[in-house]
Structure 1
Amino acid sequence: MEIRPITRDELAVWDRSISRGFLRPHVAPATEWREIQFEPGRMQAAFDHRDPTPEGPRCVATFRSFDAELTVPGGARLPVDAVTGVTVNSTHTRRGLLSGMMRRDLAAARERGLPAAILIAAEYNIYGRFGFGPATRSTGWRVDVLRARGLRAGLPVHDGHRIDFVTLEEVRKLGPELYERWRPTQPGAIGRPEHWWRVRTGDLDLPGFEWKEGFTALHRTADGTVTGLINYTVDEKFDGAYPDCPLNVRDFLALDQQTANALWKLAFSVDWVRHVVVPSLRPDDPLPLLLNDPRGARPHEDDSDFTWLRLLDLPAAFAARRYTAPGRLVLDVTDPEGWTSGRWALETAADGTGRTTPTEDAADLALGVGALGTLFQGADTATRLAAAAMVAELTPGAAGRADTLLRPERTPWNPDSF
């Protein structure tokens, strides 16, 4: 077995291996997509040199990473190593291939000075052993429009606002600027590169990505400023002679609640629509409370942890985010690689700034670096993790104090796969 970065000439075999690893051998080659993604040294593979094919040794595992920016509590963008495209063909599991690729990539990220790494876990039990912990959650809703009886009357909206359907060209022009204004408001959000917008507006074909043109509407305030976007599709479905169509929300951005109210009013007023399906929203989004009967909204079946975070440099990461209260907490951290192990004093000030420094003081909380990643973004509370025996409270009341310091104004959420 050989683990190494691939060359551009090996993109085709890497692409076929990733399709096998994701159980989609029927998908056509994604040649243009892989060319766009290629960055020397950032696409790894494992090659089996036994019984080679005419093209060379068999590619049996894949791994890719790229530099990204993660919004942290307070709005700062933390540079991170984004890990994706991780597969091991079923013929070659349990041979340390994933471990070899992951450790090589994380070590290289630390050498580049990145404070953290992120990924989206297909399975819960894989990545904790590498120091990752759940850092965002995806919470969605299925709303029965008749049972919910629509939105409550009188919800505040912008005076003189307007909502218009726009063309795909307009989405590619105006969408990125809106997203860049929205991103600092949402902990857990990551960037959307140009090719993200191209794929989702049909300008770039990605085999295996089932795209169809939907409806995209932009919200503008009275002065013409774009403050929101909704993208949805409607499936034509009838129950006998009665319309029974689901409206599927694919993207929803709103810079303020007044904009969100107006966009939701549009979604709930479309003729023939019986269900509004929102697969992913911020966990504390108030959508159900906007309805006349919140019981008409039931949780979407895809509710789950989503983005996972691996801290690599505690002083750099904790200095980047903001804090809700002044205080001091000593953390005893364990790390499978030893990179963040030790006792650290987290000190936060009244102005929202904070820092972590090594200390010999007695610890208040003991936890693994994965659990610390969860607390860093505010995806869960130390009190809850302590109750689940995922954090050890060494000083009475320390978990509650940690929650006071680390609680973000908005629950972290990432609307995008990568």
Structure 2
Amino acid sequence: MGTDVRVLQQSDWDQWYDNLIRAFGGVPESPEERELWRSLTEIDRSVGVWDGEACVGTAGAFSFRLTVPGGAAVPAAGVTMVSVAATHRRRGVLRSMMRRQLDDVREWGWPLAVLTASEPEIYGRFGYGAATHCVNVEVDTARVRLSVPPGTDDVRLRYAAPADVLDACEAVYARKVPGRPGMPARLPGWERVVVLDPESGRDGASPLQCVVAERAGEVVGYARFRVRPEWDTAGPKGVVAVQDAEALDPAAHAALWRFLFGIDLTSTLTARGRPSDDPWLSMVSDIRRCGLRVRDSLFVRLVDVGAALEARTYQAPVDVVFDVEDDFCGWNAGRWRLTGDAKGASCGRTTDAADLALSVRELGAAYLGGVSLVSLGAAGRVRELRQGALAEAAVGFGSAVAPWLPHGF
């Protein structure tokens, strides 16, 4: 190849990042965006591929702690900023970066690597499985109403500048993290991402707006959104574009979404990347007019099968032997015995006969409890070697709350 994979140096960041921007279309970012991602880049956890003096590949990792079933915050490499120059496609550049990166993650002692995929077919061959899904919506708010729970009218809403209430909103977010698998605890600096508001990202809409929900003077929820005014000969038909919304209880959640549904001079609400079990979806009068579209979100890769399976709990007792295939990280291949319940788990090597055979990709897909092992078995991706083992394991692996990634990275 004539290329060299090496850890990024601070002095090379601009060239490295320019290669990334070009690979994703070449549209320049605002100075504010660029400086933010410069500050968040973990230089010593990022690699580049160089052909002579030219950077032709990029890949980084963020030091995340990811919520798993049971509420534990597990160290995970948030794989990010992956690109290959168009001049160097199909020359092993991506594979060399994935190899270096997963070896590094193992050395760091982190059991998981996670990513969002620009093209989902790319990462399966490296052992990543689609573990969470989200919904995008386009609601006809002129015809859809919400049925709200008791106490909704007791919640006070007020407008606030997003930056002025950022700490209070982040406190709400932090309280939500342990309760939903797939949510990362936000590291210092990441609070700036959610209020980043370059004009280039508004698509004709207003600057970012924020409303907070309060009860007894305490912030119990928030919504950040933009409004795009539109008119035709019949009158106003503006769009409310919801960026994010979190609340600590049903009444606060309902109050925020009722507000968003009812903003004056609008008739459409859009939101992207919402959880598949978002409570307001059960409040609407007509789900068919909500334009739901489901898509993949977070991909999970078990870097250390034993440590990863021990890190979470199981909603029903499990005692199962997996025969794991892992061609890319051979240290995971072989038989593992998992025993666990809602209190904890253990997982170690075994010579016992296998109950289920699958690849590490399927384990990653099922890991957060949002993808059923039974459904993977029906697709031929999990083989049942002991009758009844598939259903038993599937129940244990499930999650009462749908796993969800609230933002990209």
Which bracket does the TM-score occupy, shorter chain normalised? over 0.9
How far does the alpha carbon of each residue in 1:185-214 deviate from its partner, in whole angstroms, 9 at most, with x for none? 1110113334333243348x6x97559622
**1:385 counterpart letter in structure 2:** L
Displacement, 1:31?
Answer: 5.1
Within-5 A mapping of 1:253-332: 253-300=246-293, 303-332=294-323
TM-score, normalising length: structure 1: 0.91
2:237 to 222, 238, 244: 244
Structure 1 window deviating more from structure 2 (134-143 vs 280-289): it is 280-289
Match of 1:377, SS? coil
Q: Is the 8 A contact 2:195 2:208 kept in 1?
A: no
In the superposition, the TM-score normalised over structure 2's length comes to: 0.93
CA distance in 2, matches of 1:288, 1:35: 37
* 1:348 partner amino acid: G
State which of 89, 106, 110 in structure 2 corresponds to 1:110: 106
CA drift at 1:28: 5.8
Alignment partner, residue 44 of structure 2: 41
- State the distance in 2 between where 1:209 and 1:195 align: 20
Deviations 1:368-411 (A, max 9, x none): 00110111111210111111111112222222111211111101
Distance 1:25 1:270, change over 3 A: closer
> Given residue 21 of structure 1, which amino acid in structure 2 is its aligned partner?
A
Task: Give the counterpart of 1:19 among 18, 21, 29.
Answer: 21
Within the candidate set 79, 82, 86, 2:82 is matched to 86
Count of aligned residue pairs for this structure pair: 403
Report the equivalent of 1:67.
63
Residue 52 of structure 1 corresponds to: none
State the distance in 2 between where 1:382 and 1:283 align: 18
Distance 1:98 1:209, change over 3 A: farther
Pair 1:220 & 2:214 matched: yes
- Structure 1 equivalent of residue 375 of structure 2: 384
Equivalent residue number for residue 157 of structure 2: 163
* Residue pair 2:40, 2:189 contacting (<8 A) in 1 also: no
How large is the Cα RMSD of the aligned pairs? Answer: 2.0
CA distance in 2, matches of 1:208, 1:368: 42
The gaps in structure 1 that reach 5 residues or longer are 50-56
- Check whether the contact 1:69–1:78 (CA below 8 A) recurs between aligned residues: yes
Displacement of 1:138? 1.4
Q: 1:285-305: per-residue Cα shift (whole Å, max 9, x none)? A: 2423211222221214xx311
Match of 2:354 in 1: 363
For structure 2, list consecutive stretches of 5 or more residues without a partner in the other structure.
none
Distance 1:25 1:218 in 2: 34
In the alignment, which of 173, 176, 190 is matched to residue 179 of structure 1?
173
In the alignment, which residue of structure 2 is the partner of 1:397?
Answer: 388
1:183-202 correspondence runs (5 A) = 183-202=177-196
Change in CA separation of 1:31 and 1:147 when aligned onto 2, cut-off 3 Å: closer
